[in-house]
């Protein structure tokens, strides 16, 4: 039976528990440090009754708050508008016209999965995040409500433009891509280990004293003695710790990819794509042709070996998009990239471009920054250990940074043709960003005093999802690129959204 959304509706009754559990988890995260005194056995023994009573009281108050929040959350649709009233102690009324709706997302976190409900989000023009969030609807109601809102939006648009065009019949949804477990593991194996390594290192750095004691006992190493007398034990300790850290980083990275992109599916309907993924939190996002600003393709040597790439789509937003807010589709083949690219840009993925390379002077800028970082690390290690280890670490870092800087400069260039801009960047990874010329909002050149002397500049391209930067182009070449792109923007009849 279809729900009548023209009458006042509440969330699914399970929403009481969803609101309660989600708010409870949020409060615990916000006040996690308040629980640290409970680690003291003294406090637990002397104040146990008070602690339990306080917890019970807080949980009861949170449950009452959640129930009241559920009762006061009411919504309905009428005359081409979505109405919402919510609040506990203070009421908020929201009124959204259908033609302001940009995206509708259906998400499902772990709590919602357990209770068999979904979250429903409405994003509007002028908002950097969802303006309306409904925490608990049945999947059937969520799909029906999404269909009604989008259908009414299309009808409203046609009325406002006095169009006599008959409604287009949408093609049947077609499953374009399904990321199986084998390919998902390849994505995890070929991912950036620095994030996983950083998490593992940060965790073990906080427990260094305990780790040192454990390894001292295991290898019988006395850290107070000289390294000269304990070279075998010290090398064993270092080798064991490095292997353990690398293995832990590998496991964390792969696990993170599997959890985030589990059962990733891309469904194509006309020129739009619906992306659904996630293990503990199911995310549903829509890629719209009109809103797509930047089409990014990421690859690296391991991905090339596996024959896969990652895609990240940046859509129009009122604020600059972070990497977390981009829509990611991982583990795709060249054929799948071409299908998406052609649907979104109306041109094939393989294009010829006029290329302008970043100057090798960029390497001087990069090495200056890296040298300061390496010097800081070297000084820190000198005070922590000794001069010899400090010099060894500094030399290794400078060697690695030199290779990274060289690769960064070699990969840094911009390509331009009649329809597209291609921004090439990266070091170990390779990133290629494609922007349709009519999507450009503005262009700018930035030059520091050194660049003014040597006739170079950084080119900035602004779109509705943020800005893209190409470093250290020759000044005359950068001016020609700006003149050409300004001409393409001004002469284009296409809308940027």
Q: Which tens digits make up the pLDDT trace of 291-323?
A: 899 999 999 988 999 999 999 999 887 666 666
Q: Where are the domains of the chain?
A: 15-165, 173-287, 288-358+412-491, 361-409
The alpha-helical segments, DSSP class H, found in 102-226 are 110-114, 139-160, 181-189, 193-206, 208-219
Determine the pLDDT at residue 130. 72
Q: How confident is the model at residue 194 (pLDDT cuts 50, 70, 90)?
A: low
Q: Which tens digits make up the pLDDT trace of 366-420?
A: 999 999 998 999 898 888 878 888 898 899 999 999 999 999 999 999 999 999 9
Q: Which tens digits make up the pLDDT trace of 39-79?
A: 667 777 778 888 888 889 989 999 999 999 999 999 999 88
State yes or no: pLDDT of 472 exceeds 70: yes
The CATH fold assigned to 288-358+412-491 is PH-domain like (2.30.29)
Q: Which tens digits make up the pLDDT trace of 204-259?
A: 554 454 455 544 554 454 544 444 455 555 556 666 666 777 777 778 888 888 89
Q: Tokens 């016209």 identify what position?
A: 97
User: How far is residue 99 from each of residues 78, 145, 294, 319, 420, measured CA to CA in Å?
Assistant: 13, 15, 24, 20, 29
Q: E strand or H helix at 275, and its extent?
A: strand 272-277
Do 472 and 456 form a contact (C-beta atoms < 8 A)? yes
Half-sphere exposure of 291 (CA within 13 A, CB side): 20
CATH class belonging to 15-165: mainly beta
Specify the pairing of strand 265-269 against strand 101-107.
Answer: unpaired
Determine the pLDDT at residue 175. 87
Q: How confident is the model at residue 479 (pLDDT cuts 50, 70, 90)?
A: very high
DSSP letter (8 states) at residue 26? H
The pTM assigned to this predicted structure is 0.76
Output the six-digit token pair for 324.
Answer: 């977390």
Q: Is the CA virtual torsion 361, 362, 363, 364 positive or negative?
A: positive
Do 288 and 272 form a contact (C-beta atoms < 8 A)? yes
Q: How far is CA 352 from the centre of its chain?
A: 30
Q: Do domains 15-165 and 288-358+412-491 have the same CATH topology?
A: yes
Q: What whole-number distance in Å separates Cα of residue 297 and Cα of residue 292?
A: 14
Q: What are phi and psi of 138, to 5 degrees?
A: -70, 150
């Amino acid at each position: 039976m279809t729900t009548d959304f023209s009458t006042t509706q509440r969330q699914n009754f399970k929403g009481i528990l969803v609101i309660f559990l989600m708010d409870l988890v949020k409060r615990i995260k916000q006040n996690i440090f308040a629980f640290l005194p409970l680690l003291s056995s003294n406090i637990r023994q002397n104040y146990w009754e008070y602690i339990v009573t306080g917890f019970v009281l807080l949980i009861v108050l949170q449950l009452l708050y959640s129930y009241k929040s559920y009762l006061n959350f009411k919504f309905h649709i009428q005359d081409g508008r979505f109405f919402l009233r919510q609040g506990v102690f203070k009421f908020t009324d929201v009124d959204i016209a259908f033609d302001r709706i940009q995206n509708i997302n259906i998400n499902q976190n772990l709590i919602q999965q357990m209770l068999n409900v979904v979250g429903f989000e409405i994003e509007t023009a002028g908002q950097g995040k969802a303006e309306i969030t409904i925490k608990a609807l049945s999947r059937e109601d969520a799909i029906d409500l999404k269909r009604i809102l989008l259908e009414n939006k299309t009808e409203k648009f046609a009325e406002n433009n006095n169009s006599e065009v008959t409604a287009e019949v949408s093609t049947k949804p077609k499953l374009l891509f399904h990321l199986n477990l084998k390919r998902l593991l390849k994505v995890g194996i070929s991912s950036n280990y620095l994030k996983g390594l950083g998490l593992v290192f940060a965790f073990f750095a906080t427990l260094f004293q305990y780790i040192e004691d454990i390894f001292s006992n295991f290898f019988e190493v006395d850290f107070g003695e000289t390294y000269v007398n304990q070279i075998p034990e010290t090398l064993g300790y270092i080798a064991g710790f490095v292997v353990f850290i690398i293995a832990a980083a590998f496991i964390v990275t792969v696990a993170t990819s599997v959890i985030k992109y589990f059962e990733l599916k891309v469904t194509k309907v006309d020129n739009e794509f619906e992306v659904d993924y996630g293990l503990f939190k199911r995310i549903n996002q829509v890629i719209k042709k009109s809103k797509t600003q930047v089409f990014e393709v990421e690859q690296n040597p391991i991905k090339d070996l596996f024959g896969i790439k990652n895609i990240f789509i940046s859509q129009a937003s009122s604020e600059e998009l972070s990497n977390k807010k981009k829509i990611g589709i991982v583990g795709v083949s060249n054929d799948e990239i071409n299908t998406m690219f052609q649907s979104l840009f109306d041109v094939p993925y393989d294009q010829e471009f006029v290329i302008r390379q970043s100057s090798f002077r960029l390497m001087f800028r990069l090495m200056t920054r890296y040298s300061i970082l390496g010097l800081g690390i070297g000084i820190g290690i000198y005070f922590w250990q000794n001069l010899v280890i400090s010099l060894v670490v500094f030399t290794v870092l400078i060697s690695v940074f030199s290779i990274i800087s060289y690769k960064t400069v070699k990969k840094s260039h911009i390509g331009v043709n009649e329809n597209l801009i291609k921004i090439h960047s990266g070091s170990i990874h390779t990133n290629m960003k494609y922007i349709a010329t009519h999507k450009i909002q503005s262009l700018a050149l930035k030059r520091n005093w050194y660049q003014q002397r040597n006739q170079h500049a950084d080119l900035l391209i602004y779109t509705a999802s943020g800005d893209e930067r190409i470093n250290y182009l020759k000044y005359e070449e950068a001016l020609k690129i700006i003149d050409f792109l300004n001409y393409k923007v001004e002469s284009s009849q296409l809308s940027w959204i």
